[in-house]
Structure 1
Amino acid sequence: MKHHLLTGIVVLVFLAPPGMVLADCPSDGLTDIHQLKTDGRLEGQRVLARGVVTANYLGEDRLNGFYLQSLTNSEAPAAGIFVYAPGLDADESIIESGREVVVAGRAGEFRGQRQISRVSQLMQCGHPGLPEPYTLNLPETERERWQALEGRLVEIEQPLTVIDNHDLARYGSLGLAVDGRLFRPSNFTGEEAEQHEADRNAARRIILDDAHYRRDPQPIPYLDENGTRRVGDRLPGLTGVLTHAFGNWRIHPLDPVELAFEASNPRPSLPSRGAGPRIAAFNVENYFLTLGERGADTSSALDAQQSALTAVAEGLDADLLSLIELENQPKVVDDLAIRLAGAGPAYTHFNIDQPVGTDAIRTALLWREDTVTLKAGPFIDKRRVHHRPIIAGHFRFGEDGPGKLVAVVHFKAKTGCPEEGDIDRGQGCWNQRRTRQAEALAEFLAKKQEQTGTERVLIMGDINSYGGEDPVMALVEAGYRDMVAKRLEPEQRYSYVFHGESGYLDTAITSPALAEDIEAVRFWHINADEPRFLQFQQPGPWRSSDHDPVVIDFR
């Protein structure tokens, strides 16, 4: 028998070959782990517990402890519990997964989870190996059943898809789901909406954690050779310890480094185009020349943003660009046009020498001087319903192409919600306002159609409404066609990811006459699938914004 003394913890090691359990391992005075998990009267008492180490997360860079699971021959149901043991050094390999131990410590609770802490003695008694993991099957609508499994070794044999990477750099966690990507229910209508109903989405998902809860982990886990982990990538299966923390069920893998992701959603190539005109819309996520406002905080950050936006424009290779979320100052559009001309074809824009509306951000239309001719405009709808006015123009593409009335829009966001009135009733707050904006937009464009004599109308931009929501339906009822819904398969209808649910807020809506001229509609998925921390951190267009550009190619 060997003795170790580590920071006040006495470790007794009864050596035995792997697969054997020593008969002289202490058996008297034990409290079953199941009882520790269910009997609140034990809180604060000194206890002696016996089980198999299922996961070693010792060390300051991890959870500072390990998980202990009751033996399968126990009379009580199998149960697992966390042992908080900051005095143990992970490098000494005193605690090894698959080893049977007896722990002396104090029963307690931390962040709503039962645990053993203040460990005074560890007795290592044998090495029976890891217990068979309990198989979780998703979707699971009755998560309360998992209470009995909390702290146990579990496995998910189903393939899992990355649905959320927002917290990857902040907390080292990824959102996963079975049966592919999660979509916002209101992204669709009819049966497609039912397939992504909120409760079904919740039942399909779980969080992959990284064996600690510290902020800003280094290195950031789960990245691929490109330094990213895209939404849509897959994990063939997962084995680890099930726990509940910070309001969500999550699994800590046995070894985060060993997880083998499949890059099933690789970074897309440049969108190829045909011989016809191309129009694109892009929410640039707060392009501000004024530092420290809503955009870049420093000159270097602004330089990085400008390089990224230039790379996006080069990749889009559009004849006309509809841009959203520019600082509402005339010099910003001038600056952007100059930068784009320095990297490729020259773009021009409406010479509006004052802010458009009263909001901090605005939209803009930029078009190539060599392929596009302005026939009339700008047309600006400044009615109060639009806190960010609509900007439109009548353009001819090529030498003798028919005129197209193009409007760039940015409807009111689903944020800054009121306590009463236009509250969230399933489509985000301010839905009534956005619906009125859609109705006003249809009225405005009808007048401009009469003025220009064109039947070809295109609405592009960020309407802050998913494809099945009231504002889109209002435009459809006014005679327009949602070309994203018409031309793209359901799994491709996204330009934005929020709380692990994908959907499209960025739109391409046309009149029936223009719909017949369209060759292709697509999103260039360079942003929404990328982790937030990558913004302006890599060369090229990747994570240049939180929205994906939408592209329309015409015949």
Structure 2
Amino acid sequence: MSRRSLAIAAATATALTAGLLTALPSASAAEVRIHDIQGAGRQSPLAGQTVAEVPGVVTGVRGYGSARGFWFQDPDADGEAATSEGVFVFTGSTTPTVKAGDSVRVSGTVTEYVPGGASSGNQSLTQITKPTVTPVESGAEIPAAQQLTADEIPDAYTADGDLNALPLKPDAYALDRWESLEGMNVSVTDARVVGATDAFNELWATVKPDENPTRRGGTRYGSYTSQNGGRLQIQQLVPISEHPFPKANVGDVVTGTTEGPLDYNQFGGYTLTSRTPVETEDRGLTRETTREQDRDQLAVATYNVENLDPGDPQEKFDKLAEAVVANLRSPDVVALEEVQDDNGAKNDGTVSAEATLKKLTDAIAAAGGPRYDWRQIDPADKQDGGEPGGNIRQAFLFNPDRVSFTDRAPGDATTPTEVTTVKGRAALTHSPGRIAPADAAWKDSRKPLAGEFVFRGRTVFVIANHFSSKGGDQGLTAATQPPNRSSEARRTEQAKLVNAFVKDIRGKQRSARTVVLGDINDFEFSATTKALTADRALRAAAYELPRAERYSYVYQGNSQILDQILVSPSIDDFDYDVVHINAEFHDQNSDHDPGVLRFEP
């Protein structure tokens, strides 16, 4: 059973049993068609009412999971662009007995179901619940699909405000156009994949191929006002046991015509649910390899290794090692994020990650890379967030043949490192050390790891970060626009602490070289990044990349920056590369792409 089926069924059942959907007098069967149910807004004017003998033709059946049901559509459209002619009939855990092409009449209660619950901020899905289905005939002609093309979806994404209170303007806004087609039979032809197949057998494609393209086939999210309205999630109604979903990468093509009802769910919004097996064509996307650093260049990299622990298959360690050696060309320093303790998610008080790091560094050496040494600080048990019991943290790997680490009274989970001077130069009181670990900004979150490295006689301060996640933020298809990004406030406070620490280093030594890097969990244009770079304490390396290269993560078909490297003003000449080896591929070893910075200290 998929996470979507569970979520849909649970929320709908809760609403019904809690009496949240109050029945009003029945609407007359003679006057009610599907477009009357859908209305010209996002919510049905008949919500809460019972309707009888609503006619239509079945366009798709979801016969698996606990959120079963079918879509049906009125073949006699009313000609109004804002009113959808299709709607979902929710049958819960009961498998529908209808099939595509059946002409039926449906009686039941009109409801507005919010995928993910009201707190998610999502739009609602109009549906008929507690249905009684009366068959009329089999083999009826399925209403012609609305072809989704670049011209069909407006360039403007949405109006601002409470969308539920606004009339639909499908010719003006992309979100309104999608909503006007909710529940209807739609199709795409030869659509480019912009989000690889995931573990839930779904992918993302675009019907607007010229919308902020990356050079590798994706669609870049470059600002809060470039939401990319051509993105569309694609699933299939055919059971995976009968026809496996294709394993597609970004840049591949969903071949031929893919047709089925347009759904709306909490895990991406508008979704084409294909009646027939989805087919894709491999366009040959390959993993990137960066260049090797010059002899006089220090190479510093960041890599989120996604909840790595010794219990993971050896294959994961081997692929991570191959990436470090072959794709990143063995950087001198690698800041790792999401290193778990020695027994992973087992919640027994273990906090050491020595076994995790040994297994990874052994794999790197076996792959032909350097024998990396490491530094890290064990967190206090269950205090740094992440997977329960995993005790994730940042760690430094470094090549002792190229760079040395300056150990200064190594800190612990709760003792902050401070900036002092040694022989007139900036130094850390604890190296490695954590920045302000007791500050409320880091509650249930990873604390920054700071350390001093020496390359060719010059000290470089490196600060590895993993800021708080975006959990709790509203999605791009939220009912209120712009959506609430509540998690940003926490990351902004974290960024201010790191910014102050960097300024403290520079205050002690103006020429000090500092690299701040890691999974910032926010965009290069975000308030978080603005707080990191305030007073020109740091410079975001992402802005030195061509626009089409500014991404390290793909979410809901949007290629975007989450992982960043920032440098202090004294590092004024550098080479930065985000190495695309994971985020665009269905067979990811991590969901993040690593990045590497090269410069001469």
TM range (shorter): 0.5 to 0.7
Instruction: In structure 2, give the amino acid aligned to 1:137.
Output: I
Match of 1:280 among 294, 301, 321: 301
Match of 2:454 among 395, 413, 424: 395
Alignment of 1:424-443 (within 5 A): 427-443=488-504
Match of 2:233 among 207, 222, 236: 207
Instruction: In structure 2, give the amino acid aligned to 1:196.
Output: S
The root-mean-square deviation of aligned C-alpha atoms, in Å, is: 4.7
Task: From the superposition, tell whether residues 402 and 222 of structure 1 become closer, same or farther in structure 2 (CA, over 3 Å).
Answer: farther
Partner in structure 2 of residue 324 of structure 1: 336
Partner in structure 2 of residue 344 of structure 1: 368
Alignment of 1:224-373 (within 5 A): 224=247, 229-231=248-250, 233=252, 235=254, 239-246=259-266, 249-260=269-280, 263=283, 266-273=285-292, 275-276=294-295, 277=297, 278-289=299-310, 299=311, 301-315=312-326, 316-325=328-337, 326=339, 327=341, 329=352, 331-332=354-355, 333-349=357-373, 355=378, 359=384, 360-370=391-401, 372-373=402-403
Report if aligned partners of 2:85, 2:184 keep a CA contact under 8 Å in 1: yes
Query: Secondary structure in 1 aligned to 2:335?
Result: strand
CA distance in 2, matches of 1:480, 1:29: 68
Task: From the superposition, tell whether residues 508 and 46 of structure 1 become closer, same or farther in structure 2 (CA, over 3 Å).
Answer: closer
CA distance in 1, matches of 2:560, 2:596: 16
Partner in structure 1 of residue 481 of structure 2: none
How far 1:373 moved relative to its partner? 4.0
CA distance in 1, matches of 2:60, 2:287: 39
CA distance in 2, matches of 1:437, 1:42: 52
Partner in structure 2 of residue 150 of structure 1: 182
How far 1:464 moved relative to its partner? 4.0
Q: Please state which structure has a larger fraction of its residues in helix.
A: 1
How far 1:247 moved relative to its partner? 8.6
Match of 2:516 among 430, 439, 459: 459
The reply to whether residue 106 of structure 1 matches residue 125 of structure 2 is: no
How far 1:426 moved relative to its partner? 7.7
Listed one character per residue, the Cα deviations across residues 428-468 of structure 1 (whole Å, up to 9, x for unaligned) are 42412321222213323654x57xxx755433333444323
CA distance in 2, matches of 1:273, 1:410: 24
Listed one character per residue, the Cα deviations across residues 72-118 of structure 1 (whole Å, up to 9, x for unaligned) are 6999988234567977768xxxx565xxx642443444645344943
Report if aligned partners of 1:364, 1:408 keep a CA contact under 8 Å in 2: no
CA distance in 1, matches of 2:258, 2:71: 19
Report if aligned partners of 1:279, 1:318 keep a CA contact under 8 Å in 2: no
Task: From the superposition, tell whether residues 155 and 415 of structure 1 become closer, same or farther in structure 2 (CA, over 3 Å).
Answer: closer
CA distance in 1, matches of 2:405, 2:183: 68
Listed one character per residue, the Cα deviations across residues 509-551 of structure 1 (whole Å, up to 9, x for unaligned) are 33455432x3x321122223345xx5xxxxxxxx222322112
Task: From the superposition, tell whether residues 219 and 343 of structure 1 become closer, same or farther in structure 2 (CA, over 3 Å).
Answer: farther
Query: Secondary structure in 2 aligned to 1:442?
Result: helix
Task: From the superposition, tell whether residues 126 and 218 of structure 1 become closer, same or farther in structure 2 (CA, over 3 Å).
Answer: closer
How far 1:319 moved relative to its partner? 3.9
How far 1:489 moved relative to its partner? 1.2
Query: Secondary structure in 2 aligned to 1:257?
Result: coil
CA distance in 1, matches of 2:353, 2:140: 74
Instruction: In structure 2, give the amino acid aligned to 1:133.
Output: Q
The reply to whether residue 521 of structure 1 matches residue 573 of structure 2 is: no
Match of 2:539 among 477, 481, 487: 481
Number of corresponding residues: 461
CA distance in 2, matches of 1:497, 1:250: 17
CA distance in 2, matches of 1:480, 1:408: 12
Listed one character per residue, the Cα deviations across residues 395-428 of structure 1 (whole Å, up to 9, x for unaligned) are 22xxxx563514132154246899xxxx966834
Alignment of 1:470-509 (within 5 A): 470=527, 472-473=529-530, 474-475=532-533, 477-486=535-544, 488-498=545-555, 501-509=558-566
Query: Secondary structure in 2 aligned to 1:209?
Result: strand
Report if aligned partners of 2:185, 2:259 keep a CA contact under 8 Å in 1: yes
Report if aligned partners of 2:53, 2:106 keep a CA contact under 8 Å in 1: yes
Partner in structure 2 of residue 296 of structure 1: none
Partner in structure 2 of residue 10 of structure 1: none
CA distance in 1, matches of 2:294, 2:48: 76
Higher mean C-alpha deviation, range 314-323 or range 31-40: 31-40
- Please, what TM-score do these two structures have when normalized by structure 2? 0.62
The reply to whether residue 137 of structure 1 matches residue 153 of structure 2 is: yes
Listed one character per residue, the Cα deviations across residues 42-87 of structure 1 (whole Å, up to 9, x for unaligned) are 96565263x555x343755895545333236999988234567977
- Please, what TM-score do these two structures have when normalized by structure 1? 0.66
How far 1:196 moved relative to its partner? 2.8
Gaps of 5+ in 1: 1-27, 184-191, 290-298, 535-542
Gaps of 5+ in 2: 1-28, 40-44, 114-124, 159-168, 170-174, 215-219, 342-350, 385-390, 409-427, 474-483
Alignment of 1:6-21 (within 5 A): none
Instruction: In structure 2, give the amino acid aligned to 1:413.
Output: S
Task: From the superposition, tell whether residues 161 and 322 of structure 1 become closer, same or farther in structure 2 (CA, over 3 Å).
Answer: same
CA distance in 2, matches of 1:281, 1:75: 52
How far 1:471 moved relative to its partner? 5.3
Partner in structure 1 of residue 436 of structure 2: 384
Listed one character per residue, the Cα deviations across residues 352-394 of structure 1 (whole Å, up to 9, x for unaligned) are 7x74788544433333343x14284555244525863533233
Instruction: In structure 2, give the amino acid aligned to 1:391.
Output: A
Partner in structure 2 of residue 71 of structure 1: 76
Identity %: 18
CA distance in 1, matches of 2:202, 2:317: 29
Task: From the superposition, tell whether residues 44 and 528 of structure 1 become closer, same or farther in structure 2 (CA, over 3 Å).
Answer: same
Query: Secondary structure in 1 aligned to 2:460?
Result: strand
Listed one character per residue, the Cα deviations across residues 472-528 of structure 1 (whole Å, up to 9, x for unaligned) are 444463454322212x11221122345654433333333455432x3x321122223
Partner in structure 1 of residue 86 of structure 2: 80
